[in-house]
Amino acid sequence: MFVFCASVHHTGTQFTQKLFEDDLGYQITDKTPQEAGNSVNYFHRCHITDSVRTELKQWMNMDIPKIVPLRHPVEVAKSWKAREKKLSIMLRQWELLEEVVLPRNPMFLPVDHENRDVYFQVIREACDPNLATDWTPKGGKRVGSPHPAQLVVPDFTPEDIGLMLSISNMDWLTAIYPEPWLLLNGETAA
């Protein structure tokens, strides 16, 4: 079995990888399925960036399970800001996910979603019936469920808010995370 994981930074990539690596003994590889063969189970992960767009398209066209871990975009943005990363780069990763990955119907794993077990079951059935989790963090931070009180972001600049509003216009993403996205001074944006 070969499993491919495509992700925006800080959405649960390490958590997803460790589900397969630690719990099921999958080998982490940079090889393609053709290069690796099928003697063992492999897991390949790729953060979605313009620099790997061609590679990403090739992976998305393969007939293998494709997983996209997700966290609420506001929580992801807070992670980026805490690391002093530009939210414009984060926005570009979400756009590439929508342009290149989404058309290939990946399986989503929203690690902080109240219905994450439903999403997880789909992945389990497609990949390995022995796949299991209690949602304990496996390398990153917590994987708890967001609620509006956690989504208050007083330190977002007007530019940050504009970028988040661009992401909130992605219908497929707001279908997974429909709650209000930004609560600023008691007002909801999006």
Strands 182-184 and 187-189: antiparallel
pLDDT at 160: 86
pLDDT in tens, the chain (190 residues): 889 999 999 999 999 999 898 888 999 988 877 787 777 889 999 999 999 888 889 889 999 999 999 998 988 998 898 888 999 999 999 999 999 999 999 999 999 988 999 999 999 999 999 999 888 876 555 445 544 445 555 578 888 888 888 888 889 998 998 876 655 444 544 4
pLDDT at 121: 96
The residues pairing with 69 across neighbouring beta strands, listed in sequence order, are 109
pLDDT at 185: 44
Q: Nearest CA to 69 among 16, 2, 132? A: 16
CATH number at residue 168: 3.40.50
Domains in the chain, number: 1
Full domain range(s) for residue 142: 2-189
Strands 66-70 and 2-7: parallel
Buried b (16+ CB within 10 A) or exposed e, 118-152: ebbeebbeebbeebebeeeebebeebeebeeeebe
**What are the distances in angstroms from CA 110 to CA 39, 124, 148, 185?**
30, 14, 17, 28
State the greatest distance between any 2 C-alpha atoms of the chain, in Å, as a whole number: 56
pLDDT at 174: 87
pLDDT at 99: 93
CB atoms within 10 A of CB 6: 25
